[in-house]
Structure 1
Amino acid sequence: MSLSAAFNSLKSSNLISWKTTGKLQQTLAGCIELAGKTLHTGKVSKVKVLPGFAGEGRNFEFQSKLIPASIDFARESPLCTTLCKDGYKIRTVEHLLSALEAKGIDNCIIQIRSLDPEDSEVEVPIFDGSASAWVEAIEQVGRKEALDRCGNNAEKLAPYLNEPLHVLRNDSFIVGLPSSEVCITCGIDFPKVNSFFLCYADLNSCHCFYASLAKIYVNYIQVEHMRAAGLIKGGSLDNAIVCSATKGWLNPPLRFHDEPCRHKVLDLIGDLSLFARSGSQGFPVAHIVSFKGGHSLNADLVRRLSGINV
């Protein structure tokens, strides 16, 4: 049985067919080490990304615990994507995963630690609020063909959407439509903001030219509410763009006129990468249409793709 046939036999619905990309799985050609302040806790954390074995995918390592970057370990959390296992949590993984997915780093080990060795929860650094630091680090170290533990390479598969599907929460929704290429349409409803964005390209070009430089955006009236809830302790005008309904952008200029939509695409790629299996591509080959989407809705879509009722 071929690898694609094996994948298709595992799925619990007819939504997805796994097909070869004509490429071999990749990993990093060296190690990446970055440290920085985190968005929600405001603490400093250190991340080391190492090459991984073919077929093993992307895995986080925290306090000697291995947590796969999989929807099976994703949990609801405000304003970020969190992975949990055995009482340990890793927050705000979406920007790093977005860069790894788009740059084709299919297999790697992501070691992360905080300055407090007793912490059971840690967060990926926020840097400037975009994924540019991760993209630059990946491009600097480069990538290479991944080999499994027996020294063999492995083909890379991609999930193709076979039929339309949708997920929704209140007035927010994501629709997936069958397509021969990756296409992303994003819409938001935010004061003083260009509300729509479209990209039609492979993941790498979409991410590098449209999404990776886009910073987090927030509504000014929400800032104090989030801080009162114990969030965004590390947030600042250096790592987010802030908008007022009456005054517009409080810290211009924007990098792009549609930067908030571009950041939604950045998050979408990172969250949907949680569908990846055994070094495969996680983001489905489909036309994904998102309106007022967020991390929870993105996770709902991945669960639907995985045959999990939501």
Structure 2
Amino acid sequence: MLIPTAVNALKSSRSISWSPTGRLQQTLAGCLELSGISLHSGKVSKVKLCPEFAGRGRYFDFKSNFIPASIDYAEESPLCTTLCKDGFKIRTVEHLLSAMEAMGVDNCRIEIANEDDEDSEVEVPIFDGSAGKWVDAIGEIGLKLAIDQCGNCCEKMAPYVNQPVHVWRNDCYLVAFPASAVRITYGIDFPQVEQMQNMGLIKGGSIENALVCSVSKGWINPPLRFHDEPCRHKVLDFIGDLSLFAQLGSQGIPVAHIVAYKGGHAMHTNFVRHLSENIRVEK
């Protein structure tokens, strides 16, 4: 069986180069379906993950509208990452994409539906606030090698950072340094939650799916899974947002040591755009 490489289809620059990982692209071994309440809208949505051909990458299917999980379709939205195309929006995609990036689901069709058929936007369920349910479901269904429409396997590529790349705003910053392996260092500083409620968000939030902290009482819903769980959650979000850099079934996370302080979804996606713009400008 032939093993074509995607390197010729991926653009490189002085800042980023694409190299083979030594692994073949994968997809799901079968379909899986989960449903649950969404964090911000409070509505119930249903998600079905399906196998896809090599080189297709990950994309959402909402009312027969196909929205690639790509930075080209990401837009700024409060407290989540949203993909938008032709007026249709998929909100809070970060945990699902983080799970697929980490589990090696390189190619996947993500069918999503809302309880309200008239809506032009839909939100991915929040479950317990982590990516655990997605990881467990993917692990149960398993993976298989992805083949293209000609029956060939494809080599998986990864982006390598060759020189420092950074973005910042006030005292918040994100910088990637060249490294031989992926490493993420993250510092956080959260504002009070009341602001989110005043914006009409977190309607589906509860102590079952969110970390709640009081200035006087400390953590309302202990025990935490990890002593540094709030910071780990930001890394989870970050991986999902970085996955938007993936192209043609490639790896989305850059091989680099990435240092972040007080980042958020807007800064994450700005960083990925910066990586993409560097490639387009310096090709």
The normalised TM-score by structure 1 is 0.86
Letter in 2 for 1:124: V
User: What's the secondary structure of 2:202's corresponding residue?
Assistant: coil
Larger relative contact order (CA 8 Å, sep ≥ 6): 2
The answer on whether the counterparts of 2:6 and 2:156 sit within 8 Å (CA) in structure 1 is: no
1:290 lines up with 2:260 in the alignment: yes
User: What's the secondary structure of 1:47's corresponding residue?
Assistant: strand
Matched residue, 2:227? 257
> For 1:298 and 1:247, how far apart are their aligned partners in 2?
31
Q: C-alpha displacement at 1:257, in angstroms?
A: 0.6
The answer on whether the counterparts of 2:45 and 2:115 sit within 8 Å (CA) in structure 1 is: yes
Q: C-alpha displacement at 1:152, in angstroms?
A: 1.0
Matched residue, 2:167? 167
Question: How many residues in Structure 1 have an aligned counterpart in Structure 2?
Answer: 276
User: What's the secondary structure of 1:306's corresponding residue?
Assistant: helix
Q: C-alpha displacement at 1:136, in angstroms?
A: 0.1
Matched residue, 2:149? 149
User: What's the secondary structure of 2:249's corresponding residue?
Assistant: coil
The normalised TM-score by structure 2 is 0.94
Matched residue, 1:207? none
Letter in 2 for 1:234: G
The answer on whether the counterparts of 1:4 and 1:19 sit within 8 Å (CA) in structure 2 is: no
User: What's the secondary structure of 1:67's corresponding residue?
Assistant: strand
The CA deviation string for residues 182-233 of structure 1, in whole angstroms up to 9 with x for no partner, is: 111111125xxxxxxxxxxxxxxxxxxxxxxxxxxxx6x423x322211111
Matched residue, 1:248? 218
1:222 lines up with 2:193 in the alignment: yes
> For 1:88 and 1:14, how far apart are their aligned partners in 2?
35
> For 2:38 and 2:232, how far apart are their aligned partners in 1?
21
The answer on whether the counterparts of 1:4 and 1:18 sit within 8 Å (CA) in structure 2 is: no
> For 2:7 and 2:98, how far apart are their aligned partners in 1?
27
| Match of residue 242, structure 2, among 272, 285, 294 | 272
The answer on whether the counterparts of 1:181 and 1:285 sit within 8 Å (CA) in structure 2 is: yes
Runs of 4+ deviating beyond 3 Å: 2-5
User: What's the secondary structure of 2:66's corresponding residue?
Assistant: strand
Q: C-alpha displacement at 1:251, in angstroms?
A: 1.6
Matched residue, 2:105? 105
Q: C-alpha displacement at 1:5, in angstroms?
A: 4.3
The answer on whether the counterparts of 2:239 and 2:253 sit within 8 Å (CA) in structure 1 is: yes
1:305 lines up with 2:265 in the alignment: no
Identity %: 65
1:239 lines up with 2:204 in the alignment: no
Letter in 2 for 1:258: D
The CA deviation string for residues 30-77 of structure 1, in whole angstroms up to 9 with x for no partner, is: 111000000000000000000011001001000110000000000000
Unaligned runs of 5+ in 1: 191-218
Q: C-alpha displacement at 1:4, in angstroms?
A: 5.3
> For 2:55 and 2:89, how far apart are their aligned partners in 1?
24
Matched residue, 2:8? 6
Matched residue, 1:30? 30
> For 1:242 and 1:111, how far apart are their aligned partners in 2?
31
The answer on whether the counterparts of 2:177 and 2:258 sit within 8 Å (CA) in structure 1 is: yes
Q: C-alpha displacement at 1:14, in angstroms?
A: 1.6
> For 2:88 and 2:144, how far apart are their aligned partners in 1?
31
> For 1:301 and 1:49, how far apart are their aligned partners in 2?
28
Unaligned runs of 5+ in 2: none
Q: C-alpha displacement at 1:7, in angstroms?
A: 4.1
> For 2:146 and 2:222, how far apart are their aligned partners in 1?
42
> For 1:24 and 1:165, how far apart are their aligned partners in 2?
28
Letter in 1 for 2:176: G
Letter in 2 for 1:227: Q
Q: C-alpha displacement at 1:3, in angstroms?
A: 3.7
